[in-house]
């Protein structure tokens, strides 16, 4: 019960800019319902008291006045209904906007471990389709619940005043419909959960195919992808067909029950009228109220069905919110904490790490990178070299008891992420570029950067000349994920973006792998001139990238196999020397500039 209360309270926060509109919509709905409830009473009065009456002879001779009253009530009801729908729409959009903003903001702060466990397509669906399901229920169906409750109270009150016997008969059918609808609600809830998850899987297939379109084309996997999509789509369709069949059964049986209620009231009402227990006007009014009650109560099943869908969607959305955010501090505290870092020496002490329950990736790693030096890490695929960069940047958290990592003598766990990541610039082997212009992609690291700053960063990254050759230069649109650029161009644009960050620590995680040796050398030379006091960490499988580093470590199966300068490692005739001989025999060693 406590957990349910917390969820309701959590939901209430999204009404921040929608509450007043929702309240106005509810009140307008009550007014419209009340005006509609007066219409049968006008008919009852006209039939029983006006037609052929001497007491109301004026009205009897001027029936257009009663007709006018009915039109006036209908007009007021229509205006109230418009106000209701208009404000309900505003409440719904504000509610959904607040929820989407909260979800998106929260997803930005979730750790990489969380993202590793969840598919992108499913996350997108939770933040879009599921939010829409919740919005539809809260604003449309919840409003209908209030309206139905008010309609039942006012209509049943009118019916009770006219004929108690028939009113009790109507009351007999109400719990039957409610019980039947509740059973249906329980049946559909579980099936909708499975169907909703199937939709998430379908979205993931589409998202993966769209982002990996080059791989699909390159390996001729079109048929495989179509079959994969068809399998997921068929499963999705079957689940929704089952839901449709269940809904059809519900509405069919429900129509029978409500039809039986209407017929019963008409038959027994006619009998009561013949006996003189009810007048003609009262009978018509009573039948009108009964019909007005049947369909809202009948629609209770649909509301309960939507409630089940909204409940499932709420759990899916709340799953995201339950994810624990990374630690961020207030903006005003960032500068204060930055000043407390005396230097930027990096120290890894006895660091061990594994992803989840997988095998050990790093084992007892020890090294120190003094501020202002260049550090190189050489290793093959799966050796753990990229993990070092991710741990330093706290993309993944170092478990307690698995060693320590310090920056400026302070454990990185004690440094807020805003400060830590502001001090560390990183370029990955597969850099991500936005579907915007090249200028906007480079400026992403610093909104205040001038065009001169952007060009200077591009020149250091040796990509300015390539950009100038494009027809639109820096205004050239980059396709989704940088698909219109070559691998080397993407890496160099990402390097330029990182340089605008002006961080004291620069990490190149195999980010020169797609450029030739000469460009590699030019970039490294330009970096030394531009960032003379910066600490530079090169992570690579290519010896040429690391040869000029002040210190180099060689990783093998998560352990440090060798360490030293280029000359020391060459003299040791170990793994480093073997890799050098293999790689340099393929390239002209004389062209490699250190």
- With a CB cutoff of 8 Å and minimum separation 6, the contacts of 458 are 442, 464, 467, 474, 492, 493, 496
Q: What are phi and psi of 592, to 5 degrees?
A: -80, 115
Q: Which residues pair with 365 in a beta bridge?
A: 351
DSSP codes joined into one string, 18-67: THHHHHHHHHHHHHHHHHHHHHHHHHHHIIIIITT-STTHHHHH-HHHHH
Task: Note the pLDDT of residue 24.
Answer: 92
**Residue range(s) occupied by CATH 1.20.1560.10 in the chain:** 2-322
The answer to whether 551 touches 565, Cβ cutoff 8 Å, is: yes
> Would you state the structure tokens that stand for residue 94, as one six-digit string?
């504000």
Q: Say which CATH topology domain 331-591 has.
A: Rossmann fold (3.40.50)
Percent of the chain with pLDDT over 70: 87
Task: Please give the average per-residue pLDDT across 434-458, as a whole number.
Answer: 86
User: What value does the mean pLDDT take over residues 192-203?
Assistant: 75
Model pLDDT, residue 53: 54
User: H or E segment at 82?
Assistant: helix 63-108
Distance CA 512, CA 368 (A): 23
Question: Would the pLDDT of 332 be above 60?
Answer: no
Name which of 429, 399, 578 is nearest 507 in CA terms.
429
**Tens-place pLDDT, residues 2-54:** 555 566 677 777 877 788 888 899 999 999 988 888 888 887 777 766 665 55
Contact 506, 421 (CB under 8 A): no
Q: Using one digit for the tens of pLDDT, what is the confidence trace for 545-555?
A: 888 889 999 99
Q: How confident is the model at residue 112 (pLDDT cuts 50, 70, 90)?
A: confident
Q: Among 46-55, 98-107, 109-118, 364-373, name the one with the lowest average pLDDT.
A: 46-55
Round to whole Å and give the CA distance between 352 and 517.
33
Task: Report the pLDDT value the prediction gives residue 593, as an integer from 0 to 100.
Answer: 46
What's the average model confidence in pLDDT over 186-193?
A: 71
The whole-angstrom separation of Cα 146 and Cα 150 is: 6
- d(Cα 373, Cα 369) in Å, to the nearest integer? 7
- 203, containing H or E segment: helix 164-211
Task: Find the range with the poorest average confidence among 206-220, 363-377, 574-588.
Answer: 206-220
Burial of 500 (0-12, 13-18, 19+ CB in 10 A): buried
Q: How many helices (H) and strands (E) does the chain have?
A: 24, 10
**pLDDT tens string 307-316:** 777 877 888 8
pLDDT in tens, 502-528: 888 999 888 777 677 777 778 877 777
Using the predicted structure, report yes or no on whether residue 244 has a pLDDT greater than 70.
yes
Q: How many Cβ atoms sit within 10 Å of the Cβ of residue 243?
A: 18
More confident residue, 1 or 80: 80
pLDDT for res 514: 65
Mean pLDDT for the chain? 81
Q: Which one is the CATH code of 2-322: 1.10.286.10, 3.30.360.10, 3.40.47.10, 1.20.1560.10?
A: 1.20.1560.10
- Determine the pLDDT at residue 367: 92
Contact 370, 407 (CB under 8 A): no
What string of DSSP letters covers 553-566? EEEETTEEEEEE-H
- CA distance to 33, 46, 335, 445, 511, per residue, from 67 (Å): 19, 10, 75, 70, 81
- Sequence ranges of the chain with CATH classification 3.40.50.300: 331-591
Residue 109 exposed, middle or buried by CB count within 10 Å (0-12, 13-18, 19+): middle
Relative to beta strand 360-369, strand 535-540 is unpaired
Q: Which of 323, 261, 328 is nearest to 292 (CA)?
A: 261
Q: Using one digit for the tens of pLDDT, what is the confidence trace for 351-400?
A: 999 887 778 889 999 999 998 889 999 988 888 888 898 899 888 888 88
For residues 538 and 375, the answer to whether their CB atoms sit within 8 Å is yes
Neighbours of 513 (CB within 10 A): 17
pLDDT tens digit sequence for 523-544 = 877 777 766 678 889 998 888 8
Q: What is the mean pLDDT of residues 439-464?
A: 87
Q: With left for phi above 0 and alpha for psi between -120 and 50, is residue 564 left, alpha or beta?
A: left
Q: How many Å is the maximal CA-CA distance in the chain?
A: 124
Give the other-Cβ count within 10 Å of 540's Cβ.
22
Q: Band of the pLDDT at 590, cuts 50, 70, 90?
A: very low
């Amino acid at each position: 019960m406590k957990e349910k209360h917390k969820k309701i309270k959590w939901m209430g926060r999204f009404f921040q800019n929608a509450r007043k509109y929702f309240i106005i919509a509810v009140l307008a709905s009550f007014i419209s319902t009340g005006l509609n409830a007066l219409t049968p009473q006008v008919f009852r009065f006209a039939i029983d008291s006006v037609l052929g009456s001497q007491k109301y002879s004026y009205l009897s001779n001027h029936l257009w006045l009663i007709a006018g009253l009915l039109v006036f009530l209908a007009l007021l009801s229509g205006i109230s209904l418009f106000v209701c729908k208009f404000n309900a729409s505003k409440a719904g959009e504000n509610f959904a906007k607040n929820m989407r903003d909260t979800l998106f903001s929260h997803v930005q702060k979730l750790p990489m471990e969380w993202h590793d466990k969840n598919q992108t397509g499913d996350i997108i669906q939770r933040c879009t389709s599921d939010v829409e399901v919740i919005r539809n229920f809260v604003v449309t169906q919840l409003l209908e619940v209030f309206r139905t409750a008010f309609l039942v109270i006012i209509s049943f009150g009118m019916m009770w005043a006219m004929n108690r016997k028939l009113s009790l008969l109507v009351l007999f059918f109400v719990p039957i419909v409610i019980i039947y609808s509740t059973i249906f609600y329980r049946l559909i809830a579980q099936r909708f959960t499975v169907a909703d998850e199937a939709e998430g899987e379908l979205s993931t297939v589409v998202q993966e195919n769209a982002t990996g379109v080059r791989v699909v084309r390159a390996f001729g996997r079109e048929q495989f992808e179509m079959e994969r999509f068809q399998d997921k789509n068929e499963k999705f369709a079957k689940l929704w067909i089952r839901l449709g069949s269940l809904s059809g059964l519900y509405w069919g049986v429900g129509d029978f029950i409500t039809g039986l209620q209407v017929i019963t009231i008409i038959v027994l009402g006619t009998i009561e009228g013949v006996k003189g227990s009810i007048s003609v006007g009262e009978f018509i009014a009573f039948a009108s109220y009964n019909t007005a009650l049947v369909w809202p109560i009948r629609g209770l099943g649909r509301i309960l069905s939507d409630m089940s869908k909204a409940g499932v969607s709420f759990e899916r959305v709340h799953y995201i919110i339950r994810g624990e955010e990374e630690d961020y501090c207030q903006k005003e505290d960032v500068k204060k904490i930055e000043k407390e870092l005396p230097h930027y020496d990096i120290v890894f002490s006895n660091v061990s790490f594994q992803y989840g329950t997988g095998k050990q990736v790093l084992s007892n790693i020890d090294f120190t990178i003094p501020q202002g030096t260049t550090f190189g890490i050489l290793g093959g695929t799966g050796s753990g070299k990229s993990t070092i960069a991710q741990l330093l940047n706290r993309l993944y958290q170092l478990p307690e008891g698995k060693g320590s990592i310090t920056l400026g003598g302070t454990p990185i766990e004690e440094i807020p992420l805003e400060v830590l990541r502001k001090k560390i610039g990183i370029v990955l082997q597969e850099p991500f570029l936005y579907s915007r212009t090249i200028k906007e992609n480079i400026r992403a690291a610093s909104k205040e950067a001038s065009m001169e700053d952007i060009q200077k960063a591009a020149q250091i990254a040796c990509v300015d000349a390539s950009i100038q050759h494009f027809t639109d230069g820096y205004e050239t649109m980059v396709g989704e994920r940088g698909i219109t650029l070559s691998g080397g161009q993407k890496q160099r644009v990402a390097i330029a973006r990182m340089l605008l960050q002006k961080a004291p620590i620069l990490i190149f995680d195999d980010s020169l792998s797609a450029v030739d040796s000469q460009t590699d050398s030019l970039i490294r030379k330009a970096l030394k001139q531009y960032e003379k006091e910066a600490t530079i960490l090169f992570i690579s499988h290519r010896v040429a990238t690391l040869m000029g580093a002040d210190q180099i470590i060689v990783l093998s199966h998560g352990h440090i196999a060798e360490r030293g300068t280029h000359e020391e490692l060459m003299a040791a005739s170990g793994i480093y020397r073997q890799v050098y001989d293999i790689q340099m025999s393929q390239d002209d060693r004389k062209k490699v500039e250190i």
